[in-house]
Every structure is written in C-alpha cells, then in structure tokens.
C-alpha cells in the first residue's frame, strides 16, 4: 500500500493536537479568529511545517496559505486540497484543521512513497470560513474564486470596533497592496471535514461522500396578538401570541417530517413580549431556518407554510408576518470526483455512504468554480463548534487514507 | 332618590382626576408606590378631603387612612368601604382609587341627604395592595385583618435598596411605634373596583357582582432536550426543546378551554437556550399561571397536565420537570351581601351579572375575616395597569349609585 512507509509516522491525531496549541482557550477549546495573534502564529507555524514536509509555501494577498508539491508535467493545473484555519469562539480541534492536516499528511506520504507527482498538488490553509470575527463568511475561498474583493469588507468591524482592513494590515496583509488573489489554474478542490452531525455515527459508516450541500433559507416570523391580564381574560377572548406560536412551531416540525426525510426546519430563537408570568404574550418574534438540497423541496415547504400562516392568522384573529432574509441555493458536488472516492473506499472495504451536508463549507464556494469533492468523517454525538467536538483516531486515519489514494489516482 | 341633592355635585370622574394628580407620570399614567412622596401627598390630601366632606380621618400605624361617619347607635360595628391608594409603576387612574372615591362620594351623599347613620360607616384608603415597590402584597388589608405584621417585611428592600422599614419611617409611620392595627369591630367590607377584564364590556352589563375571587397556581416548567446543529441533525434524531414546548403550550390552552369556560391557563414567559437561529434549542424554561374559582377544577386540570407531561416526555425522549411555586386558594364573597347588591341593581334597572374575579383584590383578604362584597364596573378593552385604563363616567356613576343604596340599606 502507498501509505506504509515514512509518511505513516506523521500521526494525524498528533498534528491536530499541535494545531490546537495555537489559540487554545481555558476550557480546552480553540479560538482562532481571522487575523488574530493566534491565527498569525498558526499560519506562520504551518508555513514552517510545510517547508519541513517538502512543500513550497506561499501566502496570497489575504492570508490564504498554499503549500505546493510541483508536478513534473508542463502547464498542469493544480489539484487543491485543504480546508480553513479559522475557528468559532471556543470551538473544537477538528473543524477546518482536519482538512488541512489530512491534506498535508496525504501529500507528504505520496511524496515519500512516489516522489514528485505528474500534476501539481497544493495543500491550502484557507484564511477564513466561519464568519466568527467579522460578519462575513468564506473570505478565503471567495477570494480564490473571485467571488469577493476588498469592497465587500471595507465597512466591516469586529465586536471590539476594529475594522476588517485594520486587522488585515496588522496581521501583515496590507490592504493597500491588495489584488484579487484569484486562482485560474485549479483542476479541482478536495475537502475533508468532520460531519458535524450524527448520521455517520448512527449508520456506523466511516465515510460520508457528500452529494450536495443544502440550500438554506432563513426567516423572521412575527406574531402580533393582544397582551392582556392572565387572570381576567377568558380563553375565548384571548389573542395569545404564545399559543399561536405553539401551533406554528408544531406545524413547522410536522410538515418538515412529512415532506421529505432530509428536509430540516428549525425554530431556534423565540422572544415573547412582555414575557412575564401573569400577562398574556401580546407579541412573539421567532426565527425559522429551513434546509434541503433540492430547491423544489424548499419551495414546496415554503408554499405550504405560507398558506398555513394565512389560515392560522385568520382562525386565531392575529397578525402573522414572515420575512425571508437569507436564501442560499443548494450546491451539487462533482459526480465523477465523488464516484472515484467511492470506488476507492469500496476497494479498501471502508464502509461509506452518500450524504448531504446540512452545514456550509468552503467546498460550496469552489463547487461553482471547479470540480469539487467533500468527504466527511464521523463526529462523536454530532457535536461541533464546541470543545467537545471529537472524532476517533481510526476515523481520522480512514479519511487520510482515502484522500491519499484519491490524490494518487489524480496526480500520479 | 337618595342621590338627588348636594352630593350629586361631587363628580366621581373629577375626583379621580384629582387623585391622579398625585404621582402623575410622563405618559399620563400614575405611579404612587407605597410610602413614596406621591403616596404621602395623596394620603395627606385625602385626609383633608375627608374632613371637608364631614368625615373624621385617622391613620393607623401602617398608613391605612380611615374617614369615619359615626353611627348614632351604641356599640355598632363598622361598615367598611374602600380600596387601595397605591398603584403599579405607570398605572391607571382607576385601579384602587375608584373604590376610595366611590366610598367617599356615597357616604357624603348619604350624610347630606339623611344625616348621621345608625351604624358607623368608614371609608378606607388602604395603604398597599399591588406589591409594586416591595415584594409583598396586601400590606394594608393584611394588617387590618391580623394576617401579617412587621416581622413579615423586616428584611424586604425595594429595587433601589431602600428597606421597607426605612421607607415606612421616612413617610411618618415609625416602625418602632408599630402595634398590629387589627380592626375587631368590622361588620363587613365593601369594595368597588374596575373589572380589569372585558367580560362586562362584552356582555354589555353595567355591573359585575363578584361571587368568587379565583384560586391561582403558578409553575415553572423546564424542558431539557439536546442542543444541536440546525443543518446537520435530521428531524428524527432531534430532541428539540422548542418543539416539545410547542406541544405543551398547545395542550395547556386546549385543555383549559375543554375543562371549564371559566378556567384560564397562561404560558406568559418562555426562555429558550441558546436561542439562536441555526441551533436546535436544547432547553426551554417557561411559566404557567392557572386560575379558577373552584379548587376541584384546578386539581382536575393539574392532574391532566401532569399526566400529559409524563406521556410527552416519554414520547419525545426529553426531560420535563414542573414545579409549583404559588398556590392561592379560591375565595368566596358573602352571598347575602352580594344578593342585596343584586336586588338593588335590579330595582334600579341597571344591567348586572354574576362574575368571577380573575385578579386578586383586598376583598379576598377581608372575605376570610368578615362578610365581604366586591362589585365591578366595566374596563374599556379590559385594559388595566396602564395609562390606557379607562371606565366611562356613566359606568363609574352607576357603581357609586349602587354603593350609595347598599350603604343606605345597611347603615340607616
């Protein structure tokens, strides 16, 4: 096997521990926000690590770090593999970091075993995906694919009032020397990531081959009833916004289950007014997050919901308004790249399944730009964005093994 | 008629405007908290008003103000009539004040028309009912009926850290000279009050003869599910505390309607955790307020609820706990006193109905101590504890007329 030599000595689990030492927080979590000192240290250390591992490191103008293993063929396009280096506040060790570590280890093993590839491989540590410091997501992958530039972030500030541009400059990426760091030479993008859900754990599969990243719609719903005395207002004279909210939440959950097993709908946030024990709630504001990988399923759900809201408002004699403030389309991964990963998994007798990603990933930005594959490994209890995030060593290694073979077939 | 002479010149509506001048707030509301300067001014002005109207005023040791019209018979017990002078923060002009104004005007009219009564009448301005400054309700009526004393309030402070005892002393009622101001000479207590609901408005009745004041139980309910990613957790793997809360709120409302038309149940307060758009709520805390005038109806509702909660927790696989932190028993008003008021209303062809009070009143404290009657006049839109509190002049006057006749039958 390709992975039986020197490379095997680099342990993916240990590399993730090393990554987590940059930005370690009190509760054994990791906080590595874009352009912060922990982020700078991590990218600089990673640059050195790439050199040690035989890769040629380069930063682009926004802080994406590439480690190149030059292909022997002339004018080949680059096979890009990696994920993001930034984390949420007090996040885990695996989200993002695993995709970078896996890319590094796989590339290194191939180099040790087979020498230089025919086609160029680059491992990328994308500077930003989470949107945890500034209200902007996918800053790294959107720059590489030409989907954003400096204009998009020039008015943004973080929670401490520091501007995006200042933070960029202080970390060594002076916006005054910005030029769009678009990569026109990409053959494909491959990302390994933890699932952040518990489907693989439930089905006992080692790998999830992502077919789609879901489309996502988000809504604000406002119910206006009548605030009244909880003691002196008989039930039949009430316009109780909380009770009406309860009908709506129950409906949303039941309808999502009914329409499609992969449709998810969540009322995560609810604020009642005046929100006191002895007063009927006159107003409820709540959010709705709906996701599916097929636009027509989202359309169907929303049409049913709008019609129910009209009926409910009518029956209960309250005002209900709903407004959509996010509508991200579903994204399909590359079929042949994914099929190749599945063939390899079958050959290696690693149990895998097709899976839909319910969360957003850099892969969705690349997928509209070049052939892209996203592969999941299991997450214990589906937990992520938490110090409790955990994936077993064996599962981490299975992902690296698949990636190594995939790169071998593509690049050698 | 008894009310056709001098007394008619004192207009109840104008007296309420005069009352509202003590503690007037910006938004045309009234704030007259116990022992505050607005409260002191109001009680002192009322003392002078009583003197002008031919009554003998006295304060007791806690600040209850009595205006006496001495009866001509020897050793008669006192017919007490009135309500409370304190208000909530930014309350209305009618709550409490109306019962005092009505008592004053009725007594004055009788005195003008018929001279001294056989039995002593006293109009009382009770010092405190709302519990709006200190966390203690019915301080006035509970002192008069021997249900509380200085020990009950000695550790209490208001929101600014001023102790109950200090506030009492500063307003001229030095706790060091406290003795329980229990009145053992009460023949009965009669209270006029605005309904604070919209039953009378809905039925088009001028008067509500209160048969009972409801019993009240309050609960905290806690639902513990699992907080998870809104995108990566399929519906069938969720333990969504918000969804379970929605079933429970719907059940509570439906069951209250089903069991008895006079049963009310309110989930007024709800707090979800973490309460963000893209995370399934792992925890919901909510309150429940249940009221009815029959203990057995409250028992029945609670038994059904407890059993439903067990089934629901079981079906949904979540933990649900419920804890009762208030249990006030239902109180019955005096039947013969109420029947007399009804007879008078019928004679005067004033439309009335029996009614249950869903809110607490001083009458519930007196009812366990002496024969007590509570009479309601309509509240526009059922609104109270708000500057929007309003009762029509005609309705206010109907209440005064009934009270005048009732006192005439009882005292002359």
Does residue A35 sit in the same domain as residue A80? Answer: yes
Does residue A26 sit in the same domain as residue A138? Answer: yes
Pick B268's closest partner by Cβ from A198, A268, A277: A277
Does any domain span residue B347?
yes
CB contact under 8 A, A229 and B261: no
CB of B143 within 8 A of CB of B60? yes
> Is it the case that residue A38 has pLDDT exceeding 70?
yes
Residues paired with B129 in a beta bridge? none
Interface test with A, best of B266, B271, B385 (most A CBs within 10 A): B266
CB contact under 8 A, A231 and B199: no
CB contact under 8 A, A287 and B277: yes
Q: Which residues of B touch A232 (CB under 8 A)?
A: 195-199, 357-359, 382
CB of B374 within 8 A of CB of B187? no
> Is it the case that residue B319 has pLDDT exceeding 90?
yes
Interface test with B, best of A225, A229, A256, A257 (most B CBs within 10 A): A229
Q: How far is A38 from chain B (nearest CA, A)?
A: 26
Q: Which residues of B touch A91 (CB under 8 A)?
A: none
Q: A202-215, pLDDT tens digit by residue? A: 999 999 999 999 99
* CA distance linking residue B135 with residue A122, whole number of Å: 68
CB of B208 within 8 A of CB of B200? yes
Query: How are beta strands A78-84 and A121-126 bridged, if at all?
Result: parallel
Does residue B132 sit in the same domain as residue B146? Answer: yes
Angle at A313 between CA A310 and CA A314, to 5 degrees: 85
Rama region for A63: left / alpha / beta (φ>0; ψ in -120 to 50; rest): left
Q: What is the mean pLDDT of residues A198-203?
A: 94
SS3 track for A131-176: CCCCCCCCHHHHHHCCCCCHHHCCCCECCCCCEHHHHHHHCCCCHH
CB contact under 8 A, B197 and A232: yes
Does residue A94 sit in the same domain as residue A197? Answer: yes
Does any domain span residue B1?
no
Does residue A319 sit in the same domain as residue A340? Answer: no
- Domain limits at B293? 215-328
Kindly indicate the confidence band of residue B1, based on its pLDDT and cuts at 50, 70 and 90.
very low
Among B80, B166, B96, CA closest to B131: B96
Interface test with B, best of A137, A201, A234 (most B CBs within 10 A): A234
pLDDT score at A6: 36
Does any domain span residue B65?
yes
CB of B348 within 8 A of CB of B402? yes
Does residue A146 sit in the same domain as residue A45? Answer: yes
| Residue in A with minimal Cα distance to B292 | A231
| Residue in B with minimal Cα distance to A386 | B228
Pick B195's closest partner by Cβ from A232, A240, A250: A232
| Residue A294: other Cβ atoms inside 10 A | 16
Could you tell me the two tokens for B243? 């969804």
Kindly indicate the confidence band of residue A141, based on its pLDDT and cuts at 50, 70 and 90.
very high
Q: How far is A188 from chain B (nearest CA, A)?
A: 25
pLDDT score at B25: 84
Kindly indicate the confidence band of residue B8, based on its pLDDT and cuts at 50, 70 and 90.
low
Pick A289's closest partner by Cβ from B230, B237, B248: B230
pLDDT score at A1: 36
Does any domain span residue B252?
yes
Q: By percentage, how much of chain B surpasses pLDDT 90? A: 90
Does any domain span residue A1?
no
Kindly indicate the confidence band of residue B28, based on its pLDDT and cuts at 50, 70 and 90.
confident
CB of B45 within 8 A of CB of B86? no
Does any domain span residue A168?
yes
CB contact under 8 A, B278 and A266: yes
Q: How far is B185 from chain A (nearest CA, A)?
A: 32
CA dihedral sign, ordered B194, B195, B198, B202:
negative
pLDDT score at A5: 38
Least confident of A229-233, A400-404, B346-350: A229-233
| Residue in A with minimal Cα distance to B357 | A232
How do the residues of chain A divide into helix, strand and coil, expressed in percent and rounded to 5?
Answer: 40, 25, 40
Which H or E run contains B42?
Answer: helix B37-52
Q: Which residues of B touch A323 (CB under 8 A)?
A: none
Q: How far apart are the first and last CA of chain B?
A: 15
Interface test with B, best of A130, A268, A325, A328 (most B CBs within 10 A): A268
CB contact under 8 A, A228 and B382: yes
Q: Which residues of A touch B253 (CB under 8 A)?
A: 235, 240, 243, 246
> Is it the case that residue B271 has pLDDT exceeding 80?
yes
State the CATH number of the domain containing residue B282.
3.30.70.360
Residue with tokens 């590489």: A144
Of A301, A328, A355, which closes a domain?
A: A328
* CA distance linking residue B297 with residue B212, whole number of Å: 14
pLDDT score at B3: 36
* CA distance linking residue B16 with residue A143, whole number of Å: 70
Does residue A63 sit in the same domain as residue A205? Answer: yes
Q: Which residues of B touch A257 (CB under 8 A)?
A: 235-236
CB contact under 8 A, B242 and A267: yes
Does residue B49 sit in the same domain as residue B141? Answer: yes
Does residue B186 sit in the same domain as residue B233? Answer: no
Work out the mean pLDDT of chain B and round it to a whole number. Answer: 95
CB of A350 within 8 A of CB of A207? yes
Of A300, A328, A356, which closes a domain?
A: A328
Q: What is the mean pLDDT of residues A112-123?
A: 96
Does residue A40 sit in the same domain as residue A21? Answer: yes
Work out the mean pLDDT of chain A and round it to a whole number. Answer: 95
Does residue B241 sit in the same domain as residue B315? Answer: yes
pLDDT score at A228: 87
pLDDT score at A9: 66
* CA distance linking residue A113 with residue A117, whole number of Å: 11
Which H or E run contains A56?
Answer: strand A56-59
pLDDT score at A10: 82
Pick B243's closest partner by Cβ from A247, A253, A275: A253
CB of B290 within 8 A of CB of B298? yes
CB contact under 8 A, A233 and B198: yes
Does residue A322 sit in the same domain as residue A352? Answer: no
CB of B93 within 8 A of CB of B19? yes
Interface test with B, best of A235, A272, A280 (most B CBs within 10 A): A235
pLDDT score at B135: 87
| Residue in B with minimal Cα distance to A277 | B268
Query: How are beta strands B186-194 and B78-84 bridged, if at all?
Result: parallel
Q: How many domains does the structure of chain A reveal?
A: 2
Of B291, B312, B328, which closes a domain?
A: B328
CB of B144 within 8 A of CB of B368? no
Does any domain span residue B199?
yes
Q: Which residues of B touch A256 (CB under 8 A)?
A: 235
Pick A197's closest partner by Cβ from B232, B264, B268: B232
CB contact under 8 A, B234 and A261: yes
Does any domain span residue A346?
yes
CB of A16 within 8 A of CB of A94? yes
Q: By percentage, how much of chain A surpasses pLDDT 70? A: 98
Cα A157 → chain centroid: 22
Q: B81-121, pLDDT tens digit by residue? A: 999 999 998 899 999 999 999 999 999 999 999 999 999 99
Least confident of A60-69, A157-166, B19-28, B157-166: B19-28
pTM value > 0.90:
no
Q: Which residues of B touch A242 (CB under 8 A)?
A: 249, 267-268, 270
Preceding amide of B274 cis, omega within 30: yes
CB of B322 within 8 A of CB of B267? no
Q: What is the mean pLDDT of residues A308-330?
A: 96
State the CATH number of the domain containing residue B390.
3.40.630.10
CB of B146 within 8 A of CB of B61? no
Q: A340-365, pLDDT tens digit by residue? A: 999 999 999 999 999 999 999 999 99
């Amino acid at each position: 096997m390709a992975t039986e030599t020197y490379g095997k000595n680099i342990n993916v689990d240990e590399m993730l521990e090393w990554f987590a030492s940059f930005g370690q927080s009190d509760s054994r979590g990791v906080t590595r926000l874009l352009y912060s000192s922990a982020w700078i240290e991590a990218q600089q250390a990673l640059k050195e690590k790439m050199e040690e591992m035989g890769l040629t490191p380069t930063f682009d103008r926004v802080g994406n770090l590439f480690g190149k293993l030059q292909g022997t063929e002339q004018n080949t396009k680059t096979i890009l593999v990696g994920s993001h280096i930034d984390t949420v506040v007090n996040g885990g060790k695996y989200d993002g970091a695993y995709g970078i570590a896996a890319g590094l280890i796989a590339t290194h093993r191939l180099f040790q075993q087979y020498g230089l590839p025919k086609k160029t491989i680059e491992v990328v540590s994308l500077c930003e995906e989470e949107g945890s410091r500034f209200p902007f997501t996918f800053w790294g992958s959107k720059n590489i694919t030409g989907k954003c530039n400096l204009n998009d972030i020039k008015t943004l500030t973080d929670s401490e009032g520091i501007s995006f541009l200042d933070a960029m400059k202080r970390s060594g990426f002076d916006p005054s020397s910005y030029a769009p760091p678009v990569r026109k030479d990409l053959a494909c993008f491959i990302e390994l990531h933890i699932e952040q859900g518990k489907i693989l754990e439930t089905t006992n599969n080692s790998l999830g081959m992502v077919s789609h990243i879901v489309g996502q719609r988000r809504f604000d719903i406002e119910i206006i009833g009548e605030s009244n005395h909880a003691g002196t207002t008989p039930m039949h004279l009430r316009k109780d916004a909380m009770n009406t909210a309860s009908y709506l939440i129950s409906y949303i959950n039941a309808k999502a289950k009914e329409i499609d097993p992969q449709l998810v709908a969540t009322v995560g946030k609810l604020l009642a007014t005046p929100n006191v024990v002895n007063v009927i709630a006159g107003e409820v504001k709540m959010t709705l997050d709906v996701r599916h990988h097929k636009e027509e399923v989202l359309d169907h759900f929303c049409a049913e919901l709008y019609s129910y809201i009209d009926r409910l408002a009518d029956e209960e004699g309250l005002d209900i308004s709903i407004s959509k403030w996010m509508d991200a389309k579903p994204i399909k991964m590359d079929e042949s790249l994914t099929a190749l990963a599945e063939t390899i998994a079958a050959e290696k007798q690693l149990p895998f399944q097709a899976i839909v990603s319910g969360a957003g990933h850099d892969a969705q930005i690349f997928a509209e730009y070049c052939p892209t594959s996203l592969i999941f490994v299991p997450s214990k209890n589906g937990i992520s964005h938490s110090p409790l995030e955990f994936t077993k060593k064996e599962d981490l290694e299975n992902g690296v093994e698949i990636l190594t073979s995939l790169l071998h077939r593509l690049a050698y």
